[in-house]
Homo-oligomer: A and B are copies of this chain.
Amino acid sequence: MEKEQFEGYKYIEGGVCAAKGFTANGLNCGINPVKEKNDLGMVYSEVPCNTAAVYTKNKVKGAPIIVTQRHLKKSGGISRAVIVNSKNANTCNPNGEEVAEETCRLAAEELGIKPEEVIVASTGVIGMPVYIEPFANYMGELAGGLSVKGNTAAVNAIMTTDTVRKESAVEFLIEGKVCHLGGMAKGSGMIHPDMATTLNFITTDVSVSAEMLQKALSDIVKVTYNCLSVDGDTSTNDMVSVMAGGLAGNSQITSEGESYNIFKQALYIVMLDLVKMLAADGEGASKFIECKCEEAPDTDTAVKAAKSVVSSSLVKCAVFGGDANCGRILCAIGYADIDIDVLKIDVELESSAGKILVCKDGMGLQFSEEDAAKILAQEEIYININLNQGNASARAWGCDLTYDYVKINGDYRS
């Protein structure tokens, strides 16, 4: 997929290590029996970072979520490291918090920082026993191997059913200072965000207050991560964290204004880029779907309409089968929790093979099935909805529903 370009921002390599002062590492500590697959990752900042985070709203929460919230409260929103494992979600385990706390303590000891400065996260199977030994045995090697090239090893450690690495980073200027913001994400199934989704760790060298950092993150989650759905299942372990170390040298951003806007846009670009990667790599996906909803009465309506379409199993199957079934798109808009006049809705299907109007004023149109089939045969499908009843717009992202989704999830644990 081609990256969206934004003036003043340049995509760069490095992921979570793109920003000054950050190093990372990853390795196999034995939680995953496949030795070639990393299962434990670490991100470290040489200076204390103002930190913002959003978490899953699932009432069944992974122990690491509870421990991270406790740590950031105790540290006053300051963090210096992330420790994250895959293959075991450390959720619904009687000793989950104990293991998560001890993991942080071990990491802090190796790094010479406080345990409450450690963000801890886990992803994998829910309700499996969890033991401290793998973490204890490998923490020294993990911390000892931290490097500015360690982002790849770290992102490998958080992948589960992901088939591609999800990293993104940009370079930009604030007050003439060169700034960087980058991140890594994991996630392929159990993706239907409510507040945030999957695991996503972002680092930056911009100097920004904890308050403005949280404000930017909360705003941008709404139009990026919360507009993503793979399968309608909101995970128990979702978390997005942003660590801002401040080594770029700009004067600290403490209020809205030009510098805040530049920073917020950088956060948007990286999170948008990661979200699109997550959608394209949804479990079993053969096609990426973007639904754009325009001329809505307000942003909330646009988000709900677009998200309802990309979440519909029937729309997803139709895209998989290359069936230009506009009725299912209208149906999904119709059951979204929004107040709209359905007799004003236009729907267009678009891809690199062209575009075609399939619905006008809420009514199905006759169109060339041959042209529609060509459009839907591509790997990136765009469903463009015009509600014709306002000025707000939003996008949502997802993927098709395929035989492979069923296969992957019929036999996940083994």
Copies of this chain, count: 2
Number of interface residues of A (CB under 8 A): 67
Residues in chain B near residue A234, CB distance under 8 A: 331, 334-335
**Interface check A113, CB cutoff 8 A:** no
Given contacts A325-B412, A333-B60, A334-B60, contact A314 B362 (CB under 8 A): no
Assembly CA distance A326 to B58 (angstroms) = 16
Contact with B along A298-333 (1 / 0, CB 8 A): 000000000000011110011011110111101111
Question: Shortest distance in angstroms between A206's beta carbon and chain B's nearest beta carbon?
Answer: 34
Complex CA gap A411/B408 in Å reads 22
CB distance B232 to A323 under 8 Å? no
The answer to whether A232 and B313 touch across the interface, beta carbons within 8 angstroms, is: yes
Kindly state whether residue A368 has any CB partner on chain B within 8 Å: no
Determine if A94 is an interface residue (Cβ-Cβ < 8 Å). yes
Bound complex: CA A94 to CA B406 (Å): 38
CB contact under 8 A between A364 and B126, given known A91-B327, A317-B405: yes
- CA separation between A401 and B190, bound complex, in Å? 15
The answer to the question of A3 belonging to the interface, with a C-beta cut-off of 8 Å to chain B, is no
The docked-state distance in angstroms from the alpha carbon of A58 to that of B334 is 5
Return 8 A-B CB contacts under 8 Å, by A number.
A60-B362, A92-B327, A92-B330, A125-B327, A233-B314, A234-B331, A317-B410, A317-B412
9 closest A-B pairs by beta carbon, nearest first, are A127-B364, A126-B327, A321-B410, A60-B334, A317-B409, A127-B327, A234-B335, A58-B334, A231-B313
